[in-house]
Amino acid sequence: MARVCQITGKRPQVGNNVSHANNKTKRRFLPNLQKKRFFLPEENKWITLKVSTKGIKTISKYGVSAVLKEAKANGYLVLK
Protein backbone atom coordinates (compact mmCIF):
# COMPACT_ATOMS: atom_id res chain seq x y z
CA MET A 1 0.00 0.00 0.00
CA ALA A 2 1.17 3.53 -0.73
CA ARG A 3 2.60 5.84 1.92
CA VAL A 4 -0.56 7.92 2.24
CA CYS A 5 -2.43 8.85 5.41
CA GLN A 6 -5.99 7.48 5.27
CA ILE A 7 -7.33 10.40 7.34
CA THR A 8 -5.49 13.53 6.21
CA GLY A 9 -4.33 12.38 2.77
CA LYS A 10 -0.71 13.35 3.47
CA ARG A 11 1.73 12.00 0.86
CA PRO A 12 5.50 12.01 0.40
CA GLN A 13 6.95 15.34 -0.70
CA VAL A 14 9.98 15.92 -2.90
CA GLY A 15 12.91 18.15 -2.06
CA ASN A 16 16.68 18.37 -2.12
CA ASN A 17 19.54 17.24 0.07
CA VAL A 18 21.88 20.22 0.17
CA SER A 19 25.52 19.52 1.00
CA HIS A 20 28.00 21.90 2.58
CA ALA A 21 29.34 22.58 -0.94
CA ASN A 22 25.73 23.45 -1.99
CA ASN A 23 25.38 20.34 -4.19
CA LYS A 24 21.75 19.35 -4.52
CA THR A 25 20.42 15.81 -4.89
CA LYS A 26 16.78 14.77 -4.90
CA ARG A 27 15.21 13.23 -1.81
CA ARG A 28 11.78 12.38 -0.45
CA PHE A 29 10.19 13.65 2.74
CA LEU A 30 7.99 10.80 3.99
CA PRO A 31 4.97 11.39 6.25
CA ASN A 32 5.18 9.96 9.78
CA LEU A 33 2.75 7.07 9.26
CA GLN A 34 1.72 4.62 11.97
CA LYS A 35 -0.48 1.54 11.79
CA LYS A 36 -3.07 2.06 14.51
CA ARG A 37 -6.19 0.18 15.59
CA PHE A 38 -9.32 2.13 16.46
CA PHE A 39 -12.53 0.82 18.01
CA LEU A 40 -15.81 1.74 16.33
CA PRO A 41 -18.50 1.59 19.03
CA GLU A 42 -21.37 1.96 16.49
CA GLU A 43 -20.30 -1.21 14.65
CA ASN A 44 -18.72 -2.86 17.73
CA LYS A 45 -15.52 -3.73 15.86
CA TRP A 46 -11.87 -2.73 15.49
CA ILE A 47 -10.40 -1.24 12.31
CA THR A 48 -6.75 -0.78 11.43
CA LEU A 49 -5.75 2.45 9.72
CA LYS A 50 -2.46 3.75 8.37
CA VAL A 51 -2.52 7.29 9.75
CA SER A 52 -0.07 10.13 10.24
CA THR A 53 0.59 11.39 13.74
CA LYS A 54 -1.45 14.49 12.92
CA GLY A 55 -4.30 12.16 11.93
CA ILE A 56 -4.06 10.43 15.31
CA LYS A 57 -4.28 13.80 17.07
CA THR A 58 -7.30 14.72 14.92
CA ILE A 59 -9.05 11.46 15.84
CA SER A 60 -8.40 11.96 19.53
CA LYS A 61 -9.77 15.52 19.31
CA TYR A 62 -12.96 14.95 17.27
CA GLY A 63 -13.64 11.23 17.70
CA VAL A 64 -13.13 8.34 15.33
CA SER A 65 -16.66 8.30 13.83
CA ALA A 66 -16.72 11.99 12.89
CA VAL A 67 -13.22 11.86 11.38
CA LEU A 68 -13.97 8.69 9.38
CA LYS A 69 -17.13 10.27 8.01
CA GLU A 70 -15.21 13.36 6.84
CA ALA A 71 -12.34 11.28 5.41
CA LYS A 72 -14.82 9.23 3.35
CA ALA A 73 -16.42 12.44 2.07
CA ASN A 74 -12.99 13.80 1.03
CA GLY A 75 -12.06 10.52 -0.65
CA TYR A 76 -9.02 9.78 1.54
CA LEU A 77 -10.33 6.67 3.26
CA VAL A 78 -10.19 3.41 1.35
CA LEU A 79 -11.07 0.41 3.51
CA LYS A 80 -10.54 -3.16 2.29
Helix, strand, or coil here: 62?
helix
Domain-located, residue 25: no
Tell which residue, 70, 4, 59, 20, has the closest CA to residue 37.
59
- Domain with residue 73: its CATH number is 2.30.170.40
Q: How far apart are CA 29 and CA 14, in angstroms?
A: 6
Domain extent at residue 76: 1-7+33-80
Alpha carbon 40 to chain centroid, angstroms: 18
Domain-located, residue 24: no
Count of structural domains, the chain: 1
Percentage, residues of the chain above pLDDT 90: 85
Strand duo 45-52 + 33-40: pairing: antiparallel
pLDDT average, residue stretch 41-62? 95
pLDDT on residue 61: 96
Domain-located, residue 14: no
pLDDT on residue 1: 56
Residue type, 74: N
Confidence of residue 80 (pLDDT cuts 50, 70, 90): low
Domain-located, residue 38: yes
